[in-house]
Amino acid sequence: MTQTIEGSKKRRKKPILLYLFIIVLVIIAISIISFKKFVDNQLQPMAVENIKEIQIVIPKGTSSNGIAKILKDNNLIRNDLIFSLFAKYEKMDGKFKAGKYVLNNGMTQEEIMRKLVAGGVEKDSVTFTIPEGFELKQIAERLSEMGLVDKNSFLELTSKVSNFSSEFDFLKDVPEELSLEGYLYPDTYEVYTDVSEKDIVKKMLSRFDSLYTDELKAKAEELDLDINQVIALASIIEREGRVDSEREIISGVFHNRIKVGMALQSCATVQYILGERKPVLSTEDTLIDSPYNTYINQGLPPGPIASPGIRSIEAAVNPADVDYKFFVFNEDETGTHTFSVTYDEHKKAKNRIQNKR
């Protein structure tokens, strides 16, 4: 009887052990499948559209792990650990070469690895700087003087937003009839000497895209402004302001004028129409028939009048809480303005400044 009971217990144990074994196998299989999906996802390109060229430098003596970190920091790969493990699996580990590389965020990890094994490209590079407040024509002139672009080709290329709106989402909200005025971000850039006009434009647009953040977009929406209005206002602030501490106040003045239906009366917009930066405008100048003339038209001009820097862009969506509706340049080395609430105060400020001349 005892043997029968023990035999029965052993028979019951066998199915239980079998079930446990099957469950363990299922868990292992699910884990393997999940891990494979995770790895496959991490090996995918960073982008499938809006693909951008990215230049990197791999210093001599950099380990595979170090190279993986450089790639991760430049948004060329998703996971540096997976890249290092994949390099070992593909037997490319230790074969990567130092040098300069031009890669893009649409490349797979395998494509990047093969580039790194083949070696970098040695090209002469040059640095150029575009100051804040430059207009398209000034940008074209500077780049032309450096031998980087054909001035007329560059201006033709940048004359239509539609030439690049398919590659940059933010341009889809800019009226098609406008040029890229205001959207080529003023900064210092390094490019190869054989770079094309289009590559330079894309590089500058990419810089703008990286700086026009979701936070700025949210601020603009709160003020019921689209991107074109923000950059148009920012470009006026850029041209009118001379010190960073006043940019938000100048923005506040323009916002106040727009709210009460006053013309902005910005000299910078008339200077843009004239094609020269006259220090003093005549009455005739302020009456020029142009949609960009903010002396005779209410509200913002149709588009930007120059390339604003990030401080002016931030100021455009963060106007100071002030009552001012007027300002006049103090005409001294401080670069500051005198701000006024009423026109009478403004006239007194202008007279005081003129008497100091």
User: Contact 130/142 with Cβ under 8 angstroms?
Assistant: yes
pLDDT score recorded for residue 52: 82
- Sign of dihedral through CA atoms 10, 15, 20, 25? positive
pLDDT score recorded for residue 188: 94
Low-confidence spans in the chain with pLDDT less than 50: 1-2
Sequence ranges of the domains in the chain: 53-118, 125-211, 224-355
User: Contact 204/157 with Cβ under 8 angstroms?
Assistant: no
pLDDT score recorded for residue 355: 79
pLDDT score recorded for residue 31: 64
For 252, half-sphere exposure in the C-beta direction (CA atoms, 13 angstrom radius) is 15
pLDDT score recorded for residue 110: 85
User: Contact 127/66 with Cβ under 8 angstroms?
Assistant: no
What CATH number matches the domain at 53-118, 3.30.1490.480, 3.10.270.10, 3.40.140.10, 3.10.129.10? 3.30.1490.480
Query: Is-same-fold flag (53-118; 125-211)?
Result: yes
pLDDT score recorded for residue 11: 54
User: Contact 128/148 with Cβ under 8 angstroms?
Assistant: yes
pLDDT score recorded for residue 36: 60
| Element of type H or E holding 329 | strand 326-329
User: Contact 315/330 with Cβ under 8 angstroms?
Assistant: no
Euclidean distance between CA atoms 79 and 72, whole angstroms: 7
State pLDDT tens for residues 49-107. Answer: 777 888 888 888 888 889 989 999 998 988 888 888 888 878 888 888 888 888 888 88
Please name the fold of domain 125-211: Dna Ligase; domain 1 (3.30.1490)
pLDDT score recorded for residue 37: 65
pLDDT score recorded for residue 2: 47
CB neighbour class for 281 (10 Å; exposed up to 12, middle 13-18, buried from 19): middle
